[in-house]
Amino acid sequence: MNSYNDDAPIAAVATVSGESALAVIRTSGKDAVALLAEVFSRPQKLREAPGNTIVYGWILEKDAKIDEVLVSVYRSPRSYTGEDGADISCHGGTAAVRGIMRVLRKAGFRDALPGEFTFRAFMKGKLDLTKAESVMELVSAKTDRGRSHAVGRLSGGLEQEIQGAKTLLVQVLAGTELFLDYSEDEFSAPEAEGRLPDRALAESALVRLRALADSYRMERLCHDGALAVIAGRPNAGKSSLFNLLLKEDRSIVTDIPGTTRDWIEAWISIDGIPIRLADTAGLRDAGDKVEQIGVARSRELLETADIALYLIDGTRGIAPEDAVFLQNQKNPTIAVWNKLDAAALPENGTDYPLLGISAKTGAGISELKAALVSRLTDCSKAPEGWGYSSVGIATERQKTLVDRATASLEETLTLADRGQPLDLIAPLLREAVNALGEITGEVSAADILEVMFSKFCVGK
C-alpha cells in the first residue's frame, strides 16, 4: 500500500476533469524534476531550470508527442510541499490529461493520495495543521464570507490565537512546576499558601478559549450552510417566494392548489451565509396519491431543517392548520404573512409574531432576509476586548481539542479555588497545553494525520 510517510515522486490532476481550455497536473517528491525531464522534449533545459521559472516544451511518450505544455518548476525548500516539484499546464481535454498521467506513471511517479501534497507541506514545516485544514476549506468555500474566513486561517490568524492562549498557559505551568521543584519552605509568596501561580494569566487564557469555542457554530454555518425549508398550505405563495429569493423561475407557479408535488432545492447566499433553500409541497390532507407522497416528503424535510419559513396566505388568514403547525414545530420557524399587497397584517396580533411580505411585489423581503440571518446566527459573540474577526475554529477536530483544553483549565481553576495542592493541578495544565499543541500539529499522531488528510481532494 502507498503511504503518506514516504518521499516518492507523486503526481495528480489538480483541476476538475472534463473539457476545458487548460488543466494542471501537479508533481512533487524526490527527483521529481529529473524524472519529468526524461519525458520532456527539452530535458537539459528542465533539469537546469531554477525554482520559480517556467519551461516550454512537449510531454513525450518515446518519440510521440502527447501534449504541448508549460512546466512551472519549484525547488526545495521554496515550494508548496517543501520538496522539488513541478506543475504541468496542459490542454484541458480528457485524453490529453489521461495521456500525460500515463506517461508520468511509466516515468516513475505514483498517483498522489488524497491531500498528500498538503500533508507533505505540513511534514516539511511549511504549514501548521490549522493552515493545512484551511486549504480544503478554501477549496470548498461556497460564499465570499466562507472564503474570507478560510483565508484568515490560511494567513495564520487561528494559529496566532491558539499560540497566544498556549503561551499564557505555558507561563502558568512553568510557574507551577517551578514551585513544585522546590520546598514550600523556600517560598513566602502566595504560592506557598496553595494558590495557583499567575492565576490572572490562566483566566485570560480561559476567556480566549471560550471565545474560540463559541466561534465554531458561526464558522460551520459559513462553510456548510443551513437548510431553510419553505412550508405552508397550498397556494400560500411558497413557490413564488422560492423563485424571488433565487432570482429565477425554478418552481412552477399557478393558482391550482397542489401544483408542487415534491420538494426542490437550490443554493443561495444571504449576507455571505450559504443557504440550501427548499420549496415544498403544500401541507394538507391530499387525496391524490402522488401529492400524498410529496406532502410526506415535505414533512420529513422539515424535521431536518435548520429553520422553516412558514407561509400564511394573507387573503385567507390564519387557518387552524397554520396554528397547529406553528405551535408544534420544534425547529426554529419564522411565521410569514404573505400577499401583503392584498391583505394587511392583522391589527390585533396573534399568538406568534408575523413578518409581512409580498412574494409578488417584493415588499418585506429585505426584512425577511435579515430575520433569517438573525435566527441562523443567534450564537454567542466573542467577549469585549478580544480581537476575534474571522479566525474562529472551523473543524470538528479543532472544536474537540479546544473543548478539551477549556475543560482542563476550568477544572484547574476550580481546584485552585478549593485550595487543592499544585501537584494535582499541574497535570491538568499540561493536558490543556497538549490539547492546544494538537490543534496546530506540534503534538500529533501519524494515524490521526492520515485520517484527516485522506478527506482532502486528490491534487491538494
Tens of pLDDT along 147-183?
A: 888 898 888 999 999 999 999 999 998 888 887 776 5
Q: DSSP assignment, residue 340?
A: T
| 110-117 average pLDDT score | 92
Q: What is the CATH number of the domain that holds 104?
A: 3.30.1360.120
- Which range has the worst mean pLDDT, 5-19, 50-64, 439-453? 439-453
Asked if residue 117 and residue 168 are part of one domain, the reply reads no
Determine the pLDDT at residue 384.
41
Asked if residue 417 and residue 322 are part of one domain, the reply reads no
- Which range has the worst mean pLDDT, 71-85, 203-217, 280-294, 362-376? 280-294
Percent of the chain past pLDDT 90, that is, above it, reads 45
Q: Provide the domain count of the chain.
A: 3
C-alpha triplet 146, 150, 156: angle, nearest 5°: 155
pLDDT band at 248 (very low <50, low <70, confident <90, very high): low
pLDDT band at 422 (very low <50, low <70, confident <90, very high): confident
Could you count the other beta carbons within 10 Å of the beta carbon of residue 16?
10
Asked if residue 418 and residue 323 are part of one domain, the reply reads no
Asked if residue 118 and residue 17 are part of one domain, the reply reads yes
Minimal CA–CA distance to 338: which of 308, 320, 316? 316
| 72 within a domain of the structure (yes/no) | yes
Q: What is the CATH number of the domain that holds 140?
A: 1.20.120.430
Amino acid letter, residue 389: S
Asked whether residue 406 carries a pLDDT value surpassing 80, the answer given is yes
Antiparallel, parallel or unpaired: β 85-91 and 64-74: antiparallel
Asked if residue 64 and residue 149 are part of one domain, the reply reads no
Asked if residue 148 and residue 86 are part of one domain, the reply reads no
| 269 within a domain of the structure (yes/no) | no
> pLDDT of 140-157, one tens digit each?
888 888 888 889 888 899
| 114-139 average pLDDT score | 89
Cis-peptide into 50, omega within 30 deg: no
**Strand partners for 123:** none
| 294-308 average pLDDT score | 81
Rg (CA), the chain: 29
As a whole number of angstroms, the distance between CA 64 and CA 55 comes to 19
Asked whether residue 77 carries a pLDDT value surpassing 50, the answer given is yes
As a whole number of angstroms, the distance between CA 309 and CA 359 comes to 13
As a whole number of angstroms, the distance between CA 392 and CA 399 comes to 10
pLDDT band at 139 (very low <50, low <70, confident <90, very high): confident
Antiparallel, parallel or unpaired: β 22-28 and 10-13: antiparallel
Average per-residue pLDDT for the chain? 84
Cα 222–chain centre separation: 7
- Determine the length of the chain: 460
Determine the pLDDT at residue 259.
45
Backbone angles phi, psi at 282, to 5 degrees: -60, 135
Q: Where are the beta strands (DSSP E) in 22-137?
A: 22-28, 53-61, 64-74, 85-91, 110-111
pLDDT band at 380 (very low <50, low <70, confident <90, very high): very low
Q: What is the CATH number of the domain that holds 355?
A: 3.40.50.300
Helices (H), 344-445: 365-376, 396-417, 422-440
Determine the pLDDT at residue 254.
43
Determine the pLDDT at residue 201.
94
> pLDDT of 236-245, one tens digit each?
888 889 999 9
pLDDT band at 288 (very low <50, low <70, confident <90, very high): low
The grid coordinates listed for 402 are 479546544
Determine the pLDDT at residue 349.
62
Asked if residue 249 and residue 315 are part of one domain, the reply reads yes
Asked whether residue 62 carries a pLDDT value surpassing 70, the answer given is yes
Per-residue CA distances from 102 to 13, 111, 125, 437 (Å)? 12, 10, 31, 41
| 22 within a domain of the structure (yes/no) | yes
> pLDDT of 316-375, one tens digit each?
988 888 888 888 888 889 999 999 988 888 876 677 889 999 988 999 999 999 999 988
Asked if residue 190 and residue 161 are part of one domain, the reply reads yes
Asked if residue 255 and residue 171 are part of one domain, the reply reads no
For residue 202, the surrounding DSSP H or E stretch is helix 199-224
Asked whether residue 59 carries a pLDDT value surpassing 90, the answer given is yes
| 405-434 average pLDDT score | 92
Minimal CA–CA distance to 214: which of 6, 398, 422? 398
Asked whether residue 272 carries a pLDDT value surpassing 50, the answer given is yes
Asked if residue 323 and residue 252 are part of one domain, the reply reads yes
The boundaries of the domain holding residue 72 are: 10-127
pLDDT band at 192 (very low <50, low <70, confident <90, very high): very low
Asked if residue 386 and residue 319 are part of one domain, the reply reads no
Asked whether residue 386 carries a pLDDT value surpassing 60, the answer given is no
| 447 within a domain of the structure (yes/no) | no
Q: DSSP assignment, residue 383?
A: P
Following DSSP, what letter does each residue of 133-171 receive, concatenated?
HHHHHHHH--SHHHHHHHHHHHTTHHHHHHHHHHHHHHH
Which of 337, 363, 389 corresponds to the end of one domain?
A: 363
As a whole number of angstroms, the distance between CA 365 and CA 336 comes to 10
Residues 6+ apart with CB under 8 A from 373: 270, 271, 273
Amino acid letter, residue 166: K
SS3 label, residue 73: strand
**Strand partners for 13:** 25
Residues 6+ apart with CB under 8 A from 349: none
